[in-house]
Chains A and B, each alone.
Chain A
Amino acid sequence: MSRQGRIAHWWATLKAGHVWVTSRLGARLWLRSCDRVGRNTRTFWRPNIDNRGRIVIGASVRLNSNWAPLEIATGPQGLIEIGDNVFINYGSMISAHGHVRIGSNVMIGNYCIVADTETPGLGDPPGGLRVEPRAIDIGDGAWLAARVTVLPGARIGAGAVIAAGSVVAGDIPAGAVAGGIPARLLRAG
């Protein structure tokens, strides 16, 4: 190996070590307001966690907040459950005023919106009528590609794949491939 190659190799190893340490320490620090965090869960850069309800995160979850932070927010009655081995990419918004459940082994792409009310991140409108949240359920092993919007009341079955840019309303059966605005079945499970 050339000298340059050796330096590049060592640099990469050093960087990997740095990420290994900071992602684990970061998770302790940034996720401290969550009610439960499983073992070996890691954060890359700093997510916005706004926990006024209950947030439960499983083991070996990876949360990426590089480039744009990830936001996980619960209202006073909100509950967010994230299973084991979930990966959520940057810029996504997970918000619950009721119940949002994300199963194990789910992958969520960048800039997704998973919110059980229509204007997430704003709390209740002042003085106005309270918007009722409708629960969202994402089954085990589902895969949401980039920029997917999951509307209030949506249920995505286990192992379903949602194409990039889709808007999901209603039920998507397990194992199906769905896409479009609104998401229609492209292939049944």
Chain B
Amino acid sequence: MCHRVGQQPWLAGRPTINTEGGQLRIGDRFRLASRPVPSHLVAGPGALLDIGDDVSIGAGAAIAAFEQVRIGNGTRLGPYVIIMDTNFHGAPGDQSVQHDTRPVTIGDGCRIGSRVTITRGGSIGDGAEILAGSVVSSAIPGGVCAGGARARIIGKAGDIASRWDSAAASLPDLLMKTLGLESPPDLNDEPVPTEIWSEDRMRNLLGALEEGLDVSVSDAAVREARTFADLAVAIQSVLSARQQNERKL
């Protein structure tokens, strides 16, 4: 039923492949697990589901394209991932559902954790890492590590000491509350507005870090940070140093 399957595909168990008039292209050395729970790949009428080379997908995955879903070369997806370019789709063959689609693109060499949900309009840049249980429905740039329901950038890919570090994950929320921002910031190259550092806010932030995460960061280190990414790195370096000390003990 696939329109193209590359060399050496590898299956464990029996997946459901459903191309209802759409195109399904699969690259070389594709790996798909369907045990203990079957995975399914669906390409709806006129849709394109394009999977690159060296892609592996865990068990229980549900990938449905009703317009276009692309997965880049060398990307690895954990078990129970859901990827679809709609918000909702009916049972196979159900014509009554109006599909409101927006293409989904996943770059090369990404690592998508267990039970990640990627819905319409989600796009993930090359080499990004999405942590287990996250929901992505917007653009995540390449090379970052993102997590959460509405996934936010919380560091660089492979940078964070423990892959799903609760401290790193709570940083965006903590920054929003203490700095009086409108929404939790992505910890990316967006510059930190310098006018933000009033005495009050600085005290709030350092206090919250002490209390919530039990780290003491110096006033100077915070002021030096030019971007939200710098700020996150300054805090995370203190955290990871402490974690390493605890491991040694």
A residues near B (Cβ < 8 Å) are 48, 65, 68-71, 91-93, 111, 113, 115, 118-123, 125-128, 147, 149, 151-153, 165, 167, 169-170, 181-184
Complex: A38 Cα to B29 Cα, angstroms: 40
Q: Which of B71-79, B137-145, B214-222, B225-233 contacts A (4 or more CB under 8 A)?
A: B71-79
Cβ-based interface call for B149 (8 A): yes
Can you name the residue of chain A whose Cβ is closest to the Cβ of B160?
A169
Complex: A86 Cα to B166 Cα, angstroms: 29
Complex: A127 Cα to B55 Cα, angstroms: 12
Main secondary structure of the interface of A (DSSP, over half): loop
Q: A93-B36, A181-B132, A181-B149 are in contact. Are A121 and B12 (CB under 8 A)?
A: yes
B residues near A (Cβ < 8 Å) are 8, 10, 12, 29, 31, 33, 35-37, 54, 56-59, 74, 76-80, 111, 113-115, 131-134, 147-149, 162-166, 169-170
In the assembled complex, which residues on chain A have CB atoms less than 8 Å from the CB atom of B163?
151-153, 169
Complex: A182 Cα to B105 Cα, angstroms: 25
A119 engages B58 (CB within 8 Å): yes
Complex: A65 Cα to B37 Cα, angstroms: 11
Q: A118-B113, A127-B29 are in contact. Are A48 and B36 (CB under 8 A)?
A: yes
B162 engages A153 (CB within 8 Å): yes
A121 engages B58 (CB within 8 Å): yes
A182 engages B54 (CB within 8 Å): no
A119 engages B78 (CB within 8 Å): yes
Can you name the residue of chain B whose Cβ is closest to the Cβ of A184?
B166
In the assembled complex, which residues on chain A have CB atoms less than 8 Å from the CB atom of B133?
149, 165, 167, 181-182
Shortest B153–chain A CB gap in Å is 16
CB contact between A122 and one of B33, B134, B147, B162 (< 8 Å): that residue: B33
In the assembled complex, which residues on chain B have CB atoms less than 8 Å from the CB atom of A68?
36-37
A-B contacts, 15 of them at CB < 8 A, read A48-B36, A65-B36, A69-B36, A93-B59, A113-B79, A115-B114, A120-B58, A121-B12, A121-B79, A122-B57, A127-B29, A169-B163, A181-B164, A182-B133, A184-B170
A149 engages B166 (CB within 8 Å): no
A70 engages B36 (CB within 8 Å): yes
A125 engages B37 (CB within 8 Å): no
B56 engages A122 (CB within 8 Å): yes
CB contact between A118 and one of B31, B33, B111, B148 (< 8 Å): that residue: B111
Complex: A147 Cα to B163 Cα, angstroms: 19
B31 engages A128 (CB within 8 Å): no
CB contact between A127 and one of B37, B54, B131 (< 8 Å): that residue: B54
- In the A-B complex, list the 6 residue pairs whose CB atoms are closest, starting with the nearest: A169-B164, A182-B164, A121-B33, A181-B133, A71-B36, A69-B36
B114 engages A118 (CB within 8 Å): yes
CB contact between B132 and one of A65, A93, A121, A149 (< 8 Å): that residue: A149
Can you name the residue of chain A whose Cβ is closest to the Cβ of B29?
A126
Complex: A128 Cα to B78 Cα, angstroms: 16
B165 engages A170 (CB within 8 Å): yes
Could you list 5 further interchain pairs (A-B, Cβ under 8 angstroms) beyond the known A151-B114, A169-B163, A181-B133?
Answer: A93-B59, A118-B78, A120-B79, A127-B29, A182-B166
In the assembled complex, which residues on chain A have CB atoms less than 8 Å from the CB atom of B78?
118-120
In the assembled complex, which residues on chain B have CB atoms less than 8 Å from the CB atom of A71?
35-36, 59
A151 engages B54 (CB within 8 Å): no
B33 engages A182 (CB within 8 Å): no
In the assembled complex, which residues on chain A have CB atoms less than 8 Å from the CB atom of B169?
182
A48 engages B37 (CB within 8 Å): no
In the assembled complex, which residues on chain B have CB atoms less than 8 Å from the CB atom of A147?
115
In the assembled complex, which residues on chain A have CB atoms less than 8 Å from the CB atom of B166?
169-170, 182-184
